[in-house]
Protein backbone atom coordinates (compact mmCIF):
# COMPACT_ATOMS: atom_id res chain seq x y z
CA UNK A 1 0.00 0.00 0.00
CA UNK A 2 1.20 3.49 -0.79
CA UNK A 3 0.43 6.87 0.68
CA UNK A 4 -1.06 7.94 -2.65
CA UNK A 5 -4.85 8.14 -2.99
CA UNK A 6 -6.73 5.60 -5.09
CA UNK A 7 -8.03 6.48 -8.54
CA UNK A 8 -10.99 4.18 -9.21
CA UNK A 9 -11.70 3.88 -12.93
CA UNK A 10 -14.87 2.95 -14.74
CA UNK A 11 -14.52 1.92 -18.40
CA UNK A 12 -17.82 2.78 -20.09
CA UNK A 13 -18.32 6.51 -19.96
CA UNK A 14 -14.93 7.80 -18.75
CA UNK A 15 -12.62 5.74 -20.99
CA UNK A 16 -15.15 4.58 -23.59
CA UNK A 17 -17.42 7.53 -24.44
CA UNK A 18 -20.08 5.15 -25.71
CA UNK A 19 -22.64 7.87 -26.36
CA UNK A 20 -20.38 9.84 -28.73
CA UNK A 21 -20.73 8.85 -32.41
CA UNK A 22 -17.84 11.20 -33.29
CA UNK A 23 -15.30 9.99 -30.71
CA UNK A 24 -12.98 8.86 -33.50
CA UNK A 25 -12.61 12.44 -34.61
CA UNK A 26 -11.15 13.32 -31.21
CA UNK A 27 -8.30 10.80 -31.31
CA UNK A 28 -10.15 7.71 -30.11
CA UNK A 29 -9.64 4.37 -31.81
CA UNK A 30 -12.44 1.87 -32.28
CA UNK A 31 -12.15 -1.74 -31.15
CA UNK A 32 -14.51 -4.72 -31.15
CA UNK A 33 -14.56 -6.59 -27.84
CA UNK A 34 -16.65 -9.22 -26.09
CA UNK A 35 -16.60 -8.46 -22.36
CA UNK A 36 -18.39 -11.10 -20.31
CA UNK A 37 -20.82 -8.64 -18.74
CA UNK A 38 -21.94 -7.49 -22.20
CA UNK A 39 -22.17 -11.06 -23.51
CA UNK A 40 -24.48 -11.96 -20.61
CA UNK A 41 -27.10 -9.59 -22.10
CA UNK A 42 -26.79 -10.87 -25.69
CA UNK A 43 -28.44 -13.74 -27.54
CA UNK A 44 -25.79 -16.46 -28.05
CA UNK A 45 -24.69 -16.72 -31.67
CA UNK A 46 -26.38 -13.46 -32.65
CA UNK A 47 -24.88 -11.05 -35.15
CA UNK A 48 -24.11 -8.65 -32.28
CA UNK A 49 -22.10 -11.33 -30.50
CA UNK A 50 -20.21 -12.21 -33.68
CA UNK A 51 -19.36 -8.54 -34.30
CA UNK A 52 -18.60 -7.69 -30.68
CA UNK A 53 -19.18 -4.52 -28.73
CA UNK A 54 -17.74 -1.35 -30.25
CA UNK A 55 -15.43 0.24 -27.71
CA UNK A 56 -13.74 3.57 -28.35
CA UNK A 57 -10.54 4.19 -26.42
CA UNK A 58 -8.03 7.00 -26.48
CA UNK A 59 -4.47 5.67 -26.77
CA UNK A 60 -3.11 8.64 -24.78
CA UNK A 61 -5.24 8.08 -21.69
CA UNK A 62 -2.98 5.45 -20.14
CA UNK A 63 0.04 7.76 -20.02
CA UNK A 64 -2.05 10.61 -18.63
CA UNK A 65 -3.57 8.36 -15.96
CA UNK A 66 -0.27 6.83 -14.85
CA UNK A 67 1.28 10.32 -14.65
CA UNK A 68 -1.29 11.31 -12.02
CA UNK A 69 -0.23 10.91 -8.36
CA UNK A 70 -2.64 8.04 -7.68
CA UNK A 71 -2.71 4.31 -7.25
CA UNK A 72 -4.95 3.11 -10.08
CA UNK A 73 -7.65 0.45 -9.72
CA UNK A 74 -10.59 -0.69 -11.84
CA UNK A 75 -14.13 0.08 -10.64
CA UNK A 76 -16.00 -1.34 -13.63
CA UNK A 77 -18.37 -4.14 -14.58
CA UNK A 78 -15.58 -5.30 -16.87
CA UNK A 79 -13.73 -6.33 -13.68
CA UNK A 80 -10.55 -8.32 -14.49
CA UNK A 81 -11.23 -8.12 -18.22
CA UNK A 82 -10.42 -4.41 -18.04
CA UNK A 83 -6.80 -5.48 -17.54
CA UNK A 84 -6.78 -7.83 -20.52
CA UNK A 85 -9.11 -6.01 -22.95
CA UNK A 86 -8.75 -2.29 -22.19
CA UNK A 87 -5.29 -1.78 -20.68
CA UNK A 88 -3.31 -2.85 -23.78
CA UNK A 89 -5.11 -0.32 -25.97
CA UNK A 90 -4.45 2.68 -23.74
CA UNK A 91 -1.08 1.79 -22.24
CA UNK A 92 -2.03 0.84 -18.70
CA UNK A 93 -0.44 -2.04 -16.80
CA UNK A 94 -2.32 -5.32 -17.20
CA UNK A 95 -2.35 -6.08 -13.49
CA UNK A 96 -4.26 -3.19 -11.90
CA UNK A 97 -6.30 -4.07 -8.80
CA UNK A 98 -9.98 -4.72 -9.50
CA UNK A 99 -13.07 -4.18 -7.37
CA UNK A 100 -14.98 -7.44 -7.51
CA UNK A 101 -18.62 -6.47 -7.12
CA UNK A 102 -20.71 -8.71 -4.85
CA UNK A 103 -23.69 -8.31 -7.21
CA UNK A 104 -23.80 -6.48 -10.51
CA UNK A 105 -26.58 -3.92 -10.96
CA UNK A 106 -28.09 -4.57 -7.49
CA UNK A 107 -30.95 -2.23 -6.57
CA UNK A 108 -29.99 -0.04 -3.63
CA UNK A 109 -32.70 0.53 -1.00
CA UNK A 110 -31.77 4.21 -0.69
CA UNK A 111 -31.51 4.92 -4.41
CA UNK A 112 -27.72 5.01 -4.52
CA UNK A 113 -25.83 3.91 -7.60
CA UNK A 114 -25.27 0.17 -7.16
CA UNK A 115 -21.46 0.57 -7.10
CA UNK A 116 -21.33 3.14 -4.31
CA UNK A 117 -21.56 1.01 -1.14
CA UNK A 118 -19.21 -1.77 -2.34
CA UNK A 119 -16.75 0.82 -3.63
CA UNK A 120 -16.58 2.59 -0.27
CA UNK A 121 -16.10 -0.79 1.45
CA UNK A 122 -13.29 -1.64 -0.97
CA UNK A 123 -11.58 1.72 -0.42
CA UNK A 124 -11.44 0.80 3.28
CA UNK A 125 -11.00 4.33 4.58
CA UNK A 126 -8.36 5.40 2.05
CA UNK A 127 -8.62 8.69 0.17
CA UNK A 128 -9.90 8.13 -3.35
CA UNK A 129 -11.08 9.75 -6.54
CA UNK A 130 -13.71 7.86 -8.50
CA UNK A 131 -14.51 8.57 -12.15
CA UNK A 132 -17.78 7.14 -13.47
CA UNK A 133 -20.65 8.27 -15.67
CA UNK A 134 -23.39 7.20 -13.25
CA UNK A 135 -22.41 9.06 -10.06
CA UNK A 136 -25.22 11.22 -8.71
CA UNK A 137 -25.80 13.69 -5.87
CA UNK A 138 -26.99 10.91 -3.50
CA UNK A 139 -23.71 9.05 -4.03
CA UNK A 140 -21.67 12.16 -3.28
CA UNK A 141 -23.66 12.82 -0.10
CA UNK A 142 -23.38 9.18 0.97
CA UNK A 143 -19.60 9.15 0.49
CA UNK A 144 -19.28 12.39 2.44
CA UNK A 145 -21.32 10.95 5.33
CA UNK A 146 -19.90 7.40 5.38
CA UNK A 147 -16.26 7.65 4.29
CA UNK A 148 -13.85 9.14 6.82
CA UNK A 149 -11.11 9.95 4.30
CA UNK A 150 -11.30 12.55 1.53
CA UNK A 151 -13.15 11.42 -1.59
CA UNK A 152 -13.66 13.01 -4.99
CA UNK A 153 -16.57 11.59 -6.98
CA UNK A 154 -16.16 12.88 -10.51
CA UNK A 155 -19.06 12.26 -12.87
CA UNK A 156 -17.91 11.95 -16.46
CA UNK A 157 -20.44 12.47 -19.23
CA UNK A 158 -20.70 9.29 -21.35
CA UNK A 159 -20.70 11.37 -24.52
CA UNK A 160 -17.46 13.20 -23.64
CA UNK A 161 -15.27 10.68 -21.81
CA UNK A 162 -12.30 11.94 -19.82
CA UNK A 163 -11.33 15.40 -21.03
CA UNK A 164 -8.30 17.59 -20.26
CA UNK A 165 -10.30 19.49 -17.62
CA UNK A 166 -11.02 16.20 -15.81
CA UNK A 167 -7.30 15.35 -15.67
CA UNK A 168 -6.67 18.84 -14.28
CA UNK A 169 -9.36 18.35 -11.64
CA UNK A 170 -7.87 15.00 -10.61
CA UNK A 171 -4.34 16.41 -10.47
CA UNK A 172 -5.34 19.48 -8.44
CA UNK A 173 -7.40 17.40 -5.98
CA UNK A 174 -4.47 15.05 -5.34
CA UNK A 175 -2.09 17.98 -4.92
CA UNK A 176 -4.46 19.69 -2.49
CA UNK A 177 -4.79 16.41 -0.59
CA UNK A 178 -0.99 16.10 -0.31
CA UNK A 179 -0.60 19.77 0.70
CA UNK A 180 -3.36 19.56 3.32
CA UNK A 181 -1.86 16.30 4.64
CA UNK A 182 1.58 17.91 5.11
CA UNK A 183 0.17 20.75 7.19
What CATH number is associated with residue 62?
A: 3.40.50
Distance from C-alpha of 131 to C-alpha of 139, rounded to nearest angstrom: 12
Residue 48 domain flag = no
Residue 30 domain flag = no
Give, to the nearest 10 degrees, the angle between helix 116-123 and helix 137-146.
Answer: 30
Residue 173 domain flag = yes
Say what the pLDDT of residue 182 is. Answer: 53
- Pinpoint the alpha helices (H) of 8-93: 36-39, 47-51, 61-67, 81, 87-90
Residue 105 domain flag = yes
State the CB neighbour count (10 A cutoff) for residue 150.
Answer: 18
Residue 37 domain flag = no
Residue 47 domain flag = no
Q: Cα dihedral sign for 114, 99, 3, 60?
A: negative
Distance from C-alpha of 128 to C-alpha of 126, rounded to nearest angstrom: 6
Say what the pLDDT of residue 1 is. Answer: 46
Distances (CA, A) of 92 to 49, 119, 127, 178: 26, 21, 21, 24
Residue 49 domain flag = no
* CB 42 within 8 Å of CB 49: yes
What is the domain count for the chain? 1
Range of the domain at 73: 6-21+58-182
pTM: 0.93
Q: What's the alpha-carbon Rg for the chain, to the nearest Å?
A: 16
Task: Walk along the chain (183 residues) and give the pLDDT tens digit of each residue.
Answer: 468 999 999 999 999 999 887 766 788 999 999 999 999 999 999 999 999 999 999 999 999 999 999 999 999 999 999 999 999 999 999 999 999 999 999 999 999 999 999 999 999 999 999 999 999 999 999 999 999 999 999 999 999 999 999 999 999 999 999 888 654
Residue 1 domain flag = no
Amino acid sequence: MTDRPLLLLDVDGPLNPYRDPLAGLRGYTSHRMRPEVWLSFQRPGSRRVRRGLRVRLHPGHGARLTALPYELAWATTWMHQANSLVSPHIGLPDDLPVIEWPELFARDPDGLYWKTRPLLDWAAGRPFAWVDDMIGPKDVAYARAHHDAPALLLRIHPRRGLRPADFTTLSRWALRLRTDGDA
